[in-house]
Each structure stands twice: as structure tokens, then as C-alpha cells.
Amino acid sequence: MLIDKIKKLDTWTAPELPKNIPHGDMPGDKVEINEGHIKKANIIFPKLLQLLEEQANKGKEKVVITVCGGSGVGKSEIASILSYYLTKGGIKSYTLSGDNYPRRIPMHNDAERLRVYEELGREGLEDYLGSDKEIDFAEIEKIALDFKAGEKNISLKRMGRKEDELWHEVVDFSDTDVLIIEWTHGNSDNYKGVDIPILLNSTPKETLEHRRARNRDGATDSPFTTMVLEIEQGMIKSQAHKAKIIVSKQGEILSFDEYTKLMESES
């Protein structure tokens, strides 16, 4: 039973991370773990175990966690570390990338965002970003609910950046206890099935600086990209009240009130 596995971790101490650990299932995704990611994961994990125990005490044997936040905040890295810690401790987990579930491949989705903005302005873009028009929330909700219902084999989407890089793969979840969804929209109101949302905080300014440092899309300084990040940050903020764990950029656990004051002070 899940509760028995959790209780075995009552005296948990962070294990040393090997050079390479499993990460999310986005094709071509690169995870570069640094000391900041490890610090945050080590702060999150004891609290996560408490929340998992609460879920197990409710009779749940399969639990869905999401690690969400703005672009460049470390979702992939921290989700990978948490997943490694759980599996290493006897609670097998799988990390799913929500970035596999837009309705269009990245190139076409970027073009659609721009088309919507040019035709309908910022209001139209706000209506599109993070909505069912952009993302197949029904598919990811079905995965989460099927997992919790104990489905053994679940078909998962794989999406690269080119038109021929799109396929599905059946994954065996028969002995998996925890599904971790790492995704900007992981805490969205547009789908159900998440038990423990974890929010990694970043301000729009911090997000943009991160993207500039990574040169992620070659247009990080454009007014349009800045606007997209601001809109996404607004969505994340509006959903933050549902998060069970909120972590600051400095690696501190925040209450929702503390998070709200911090965001107001940095806006």
C-alpha cells in the first residue's frame, strides 16, 4: 500500500544525485540540474511526503502531482529530482511533460498566437493562451484520471518541434504510485485530476531574464514575447490559491498570503 511506502521514508535524507537522472518525456528536452534546483527540491520534498501521506490516508493508491510555474523557473529539473527521490525511496513515479499536449506543434502554435494577436489584439491573445483552443486539456485530464483509476497501460503523446515528430507511446503504469506533471499550466482550471499542485514562483522580469540567458527562442527581447510571458504570469497568479506548496525564487516555502504580497511588491 502507498501509505506503507510513505511511512518508510519517515527518516528521509536527501540521497546524492547521479550525473544523469530520468526526466520528463518531452522529446529532445534537456535537463541541466544545478545547486539551486537541488536546494529547492530538498525543501519541497519533506512537505511533499506529508501531503502524499494525507492523500494515502484518504485511501488513494495513485496520486497526481504537478510542478508548475513560469518559463525558465526550473520545472523540468525540480520535477526530475522529486521523481528521482520518490522512486529511490520506493515510491515509483513517472514525470509527464505537459508541453506534449498543445493542439499544434510549437512552430505552428507560435504562428497561431501571433495571428490571434494581429487579428484580435491583446484581449484575443489572453483568450487563446492557456485555453482549450491552444491545449488539449481533455487528453491530459483523461491521462490523470485513468492513472488514478488504476489503468495499467496509458497512451501518452510525444511532440517534437517538426510535423513528423508527433506520435503516441503506450506506457505501463501498473506499478507506478505517483504521476508528476511538469507544466506551465499544471495548476490550470481547465482540467481535473491533480491532487498536489506545486508552484515554483517567478516574476515576469525574472522569467524574461531567464529566457534571455538561455536564448530559448531567438526573440526573447520582442514586445510580443514579453506580452505572452506577462499573460502567462497572470494566469499562474490567478490559480496560485490552489497550490499546496509555493516556493520562492530564493527557495523558501511561502504561504499564499506571503506569495500574494511578494508578487504585489515586485509587480
Is the Cβ–Cβ distance between 181 and 144 less than 8 Å?
Answer: yes
Evaluate whether residue 57 is within a structural domain: yes
Is the Cβ–Cβ distance between 74 and 24 less than 8 Å?
Answer: no
Residue 7: give the domain boundaries: 2-99+137-205+239-266
Evaluate whether residue 243 is within a structural domain: yes
What is the pLDDT confidence band of residue 56, given thresholds at 50, 70 and 90? very high
Evaluate whether residue 122 is within a structural domain: no
Provide the domain count of the chain.
1
CATH number at residue 52: 3.40.50
- Distance from C-alpha of 20 to C-alpha of 251, rounded to nearest angstrom: 23
For residue 102, the 8-state DSSP code is: B
Evaluate whether residue 247 is within a structural domain: yes
Average pLDDT of the chain is 92
Evaluate whether residue 50 is within a structural domain: yes
pLDDT in tens, 217-254: 554 568 898 899 889 999 999 999 999 999 998 899 99
The answer on pLDDT for 83 being more than 70 is yes
Evaluate whether residue 219 is within a structural domain: no
3-state secondary structure of 222: coil
Closest CA to 114 of 103, 124, 100, 105: 124
| pTM for the structure as a whole | 0.93
Is the Cβ–Cβ distance between 208 and 71 less than 8 Å?
Answer: no
Evaluate whether residue 109 is within a structural domain: no
Evaluate whether residue 160 is within a structural domain: yes
Average pLDDT (181-201) is: 97
